[in-house]
Amino acid sequence: MTMQTHTADKDWWRGAVIYQIYPRSFQDSNGDGIGDLPGITSRLDYVASLGVDAIWISPFFTSPMKDFGYDVSDYCDVDPMFGTLADFKTLVARAHDLGLKVMIDQVLSHSSDQHPWFKESRQSRDNPKADWYVWSDPQPDGTPPNNWLSIFGGSAWQWDGRREQYYLHNFLTSQPDLNFHCPAVQETLLQTVKFWLDLGVDGFRLDTINFYVHDQLLRSNPPLPPEERDDSIAPRVNPYNHQMHLYSKNRPENLAFLEKFRALLDKYPAAAAVGEVGDAQRGLEIMGDYTAGENRVHMCYSFEFLSGTLPSAARISEVLGALDRVAPDGWACWAYSNHDVVRHATRWGQGLAAQKLMTTLMMCLRGSACLYQGEELGLSEAEVSFEDLQDPYGIEFWPEFKGRDGCRTPMVWQRDNGNGGFSDAKPWLPVSADHMAKAVSEAEVDPDAMIHHYRAAIALRRTLPALAKGGHDAVRHQGTIVYFTREYAGQSVFCAFNLSGESAQMDSPTGAWSQAGASVQGVEPGAHLSLGPWQAAIWVQE
């Protein structure tokens, strides 16, 4: 077994800043218009220059690409469009040389319908893999076994004539759900995890972690009252929002598998995992369950700040207060943008000053942080015409929901290149003309560009250990100001943020303080705290 030797810090993930790379859209190295692993390797110096601790690479496994890699047909190989296993090993080695950890996406809840496991499973009801997926007889009238819905629209059940049964798919019909009630499935999936650990990866982002286990009795989900519906998991036009998903996901049996998963990771010096909890009603509660103690996942990816409305001071206080109640020992991984949601520069509709302040806030919150490629440039959501759409989700719900292509357009590296320096060929998605002025080449020489603020905010987090690893007192708000104190190893840091375009005031904390936030445009200590529009105060106790 190849063990990780570049670090022995088992706690590196706590407070880490993780940079998400969507491989199709980061850098094309071979001129086919699609990003690839050698392209990522060629840009790792840039990523390291941001000061982040790790990269998370979205799926690059062998796949028919019906959902762009989240439909895996071989868990232990690289899809040829992205390169080879040798290319991946080169990427890992270069990342480690630069001090970057490497996390990869593990899509364990479902596979592609082109995976050999499913091809065998669907042949009959008595073959060796007959129970590797979730199969059920129809109801007497031929309809699906229950009311479960797919996130991509319609029933979560698809009829298969060979077995004369329905199979479960929480996503596309081409993404059948694996049956975690089958011990062989769990063991085989853990072996695929071990495969990548032995290649030197430092951790995993676990896709749809709360979807692994379904209710064995196949009970129907109850309805969700309209006033409780939330669009952070699925768009409002999707009937998926009309159910409380008690039985199709979020099952307590999932904890036993997570403990097996963690036991495997603990055999390696410093492997860690962040689980994506996709649930609008019980997300924080599930996070508490999944990160409790030392034998489940290390942290969970939170959806609370991926909603369509800019979080207010009151909302941030509410979320962090709820997290303290339901997961006092848990660890969140915060994000504002990712490959599935409208970029926050557009979603929140705020200017540069607000975006900068929200970046500083993320770097001060208790938890880890995940940045999505291009947000450090202040990229907005790209407009993609229907004719150029690739995302099946957007094609299904157009025009009320335009899908995820607008946040997946290629990274812009150079303004003087028609494709933004991403590729010499026509990219798989068009490069946004609006993004060109914010290309890396332009941002690096513009002192007011967003990228410099990201570097400063990340550096501040590194400089003050309390911001990365510390606890906090109660997160409170006063009007438009949210404030708290972080503490770690004798260091106390007071943080206050005015989430408003108007000035705001509050009393300063008692004691002697010195300014730590000059690099992120914070204010100096005083007897009375007066914050200008979108301004922060970050003070260290003397």
CATH number at residue 523: 2.60.40.1180
Asked if the structure places residue 384 within a domain, the reply is no
Dist. CA 37–CA 44, nearest whole Å: 11
Q: Do 480 and 361 belong to one domain?
A: no
Dist. CA 517–CA 495, nearest whole Å: 9
Task: Please say which residue of 320, 349, 377 terminates a domain.
Answer: 377
Asked if the structure places residue 211 within a domain, the reply is yes
Give the mean model confidence (pLDDT) for residues 204-232. Answer: 93
Q: Do 329 and 476 belong to one domain?
A: no
CB distance 79 to 63 below 8 Å: yes
- What does the mean pLDDT of the chain come to? 95
How high is the pLDDT of residue 3?
Answer: 40
Task: Please say which residue of 377, 408, 431 terminates a domain.
Answer: 377
Distances 303 to 214, 282, 291, 479, 533 between C-alpha atoms, Å: 22, 11, 16, 24, 26
Give the CATH number for residue 284: 3.20.20.80
Asked if 207 is an active-site residue, the reply is: yes
Number of structural domains found in the chain: 2
Does residue 347 carry a pLDDT above 70? Answer: yes
pLDDT, tens only, 20-47? 999 999 999 999 999 999 999 999 999 9
Give the mean model confidence (pLDDT) for residues 287-315. Answer: 94
Catalytic entry in 67, 276, 324, 405? 276
How high is the pLDDT of residue 8?
Answer: 65
What count of residues does the chain have? 542
Q: Do 353 and 210 belong to one domain?
A: yes
Instruction: Give, in degrees to the nearest 5, the angle at Cα 229 between 252 and 483.
Output: 85
How high is the pLDDT of residue 2?
Answer: 40
Asked if the structure places residue 92 within a domain, the reply is yes
Output the six-digit token pair for 156: 């979560």
Cα 100 to chain center, whole Å? 18
pLDDT, tens only, 365-406? 999 999 999 999 999 999 999 999 999 888 888 888 889 999
* 444-451, long-range: CB < 8 A, 24+ apart: 448/352, 449/377, 449/378, 450/352, 450/355, 450/356, 450/359, 450/376, 450/377, 450/378, 451/50, 451/376, 451/377
Does residue 471 carry a pLDDT above 80? Answer: yes
Asked if the structure places residue 535 within a domain, the reply is yes
Please report how many Cα atoms fall inside a 13 Å half-sphere around the Cα of residue 81, on the Cβ side.
Answer: 18
Q: Which domain holds residue 60?
A: 17-110+183-377
Asked if 502 is an active-site residue, the reply is: no
How high is the pLDDT of residue 518?
Answer: 92
How high is the pLDDT of residue 1?
Answer: 37
Dist. CA 534–CA 353, nearest whole Å: 6
Catalytic entry in 71, 202, 207, 391? 207
**Lowest-confidence pick of 186-190, 230-234, 302-306, 467-471:** 230-234
Q: Do 371 and 502 belong to one domain?
A: no
Does residue 5 carry a pLDDT above 60? Answer: no
The closest of 283, 264, 261, 408 to 333, measured between CA atoms, is 283
How high is the pLDDT of residue 4?
Answer: 42
Q: Do 361 and 475 belong to one domain?
A: no
pLDDT, tens only, 158-204? 999 999 999 999 999 999 999 999 999 999 999 999 999 999 999 99
Q: Do 352 and 485 belong to one domain?
A: no
Task: Please say which residue of 377, 398, 421 terminates a domain.
Answer: 377
How high is the pLDDT of residue 443?
Answer: 98
How high is the pLDDT of residue 281?
Answer: 83
